[in-house]
Chains A and B, each alone.
Chain A
Amino acid sequence: AQSVTQLDSQVPVFEEAPVELRCNYSSSVSVYLFWYVQYPNQGLQLLLKYLSGSTLVKGINGFEAEFNKSQTSFHLRKPSVHISDTAEYFCAVSEGGGGNKLTFGTGTQLKVEL
């Protein structure tokens, strides 16, 4: 069975500083990886996804993530954060084989401070 670990429940960072949100997964088959963001009082929206090809994936709002198969990781990065990036970020995995189900991590609350 697949699982996702987001070790950091909260990450405080100052505006314009870089940030990395960590995500590790476990699966016995090939996986497809996603990052979603949830702004306060809203549903989730897709930031980026990795299906195949280049291991560096670029998403919306200047975020990017790198798929590392040997370390089973899919960390999310942004070189310079803004106050508006304050939100909860969820990593999710879908197993290969035509699945439609996502398994989500427990989320990381990013708090950007002035």
Chain B
Amino acid sequence: DVKVTQSSRYLVKRTGEKVFLECVQDMDHENMFWYRQDPGLGLRLIYFSYDVKMKEKGDIPEGYSVSREKKERFSLILESASTNQTSMYLCASMRGGSYNEQFFGPGTRLTVL
């Protein structure tokens, strides 16, 4: 059974803190993605990675960075959390090639106070 796991289901942080969200997949997929999900806005792509140490900006990268040191792990970093980054964060992975299915983790609900 394919699996994408995220380190926390719920997280509460304070403004200005550095926040790490971790995502691990066990499917040997090349591609990994970070989205944020907000009511009425759907899913918006923050960053994605198509290989180890490779990354590309998505539609809303401001205020975020990512790290992919190993194929199975993709981290999202909020350098200095702000209240407008309170959201649901979803990680996904996809095997190489195009138009394949993306497999999603359960999400991390982050609250920044």
B:31-68 near A, CB below 8 Å: 31, 35, 40-45, 48, 50, 58
* Distance (whole angstroms) from the CB of B31 to the closest CB of chain A: 5
Residues on A with C-beta less than 8 A from B94 are 100
Give chain B's interface secondary structure class: strand
Residues 73-114 of A, flagged 1 when their CB comes within 8 A of B and 0 if not, give 000000000000000001000100011111111110000000
Interface residues on B, range: 20 to 34
Interface residues on A, range: 20 to 34
Contact B99 A106 (CB under 8 A): no
CB-nearest residue of chain B relative to A46?
Answer: B101
In the complex, number of A-B residue pairs with CB atoms less than 8 Å apart: 52
Residues on B with C-beta less than 8 A from A46 are 101-102
B4 interface residue per 8 A CB criterion: yes
What are 17 sample pairs from A and B whose C-beta atoms fall under 8 A apart? A6-B42, A9-B40, A36-B104, A43-B4, A43-B90, A43-B106, A43-B107, A44-B90, A44-B104, A46-B102, A99-B98, A100-B31, A100-B94, A101-B58, A106-B40, A106-B41, A106-B42
Contact A107 B42 (CB under 8 A): yes
Known: A32-B99, A94-B99, A100-B98. A43 touches B42 (CB 8 A): no
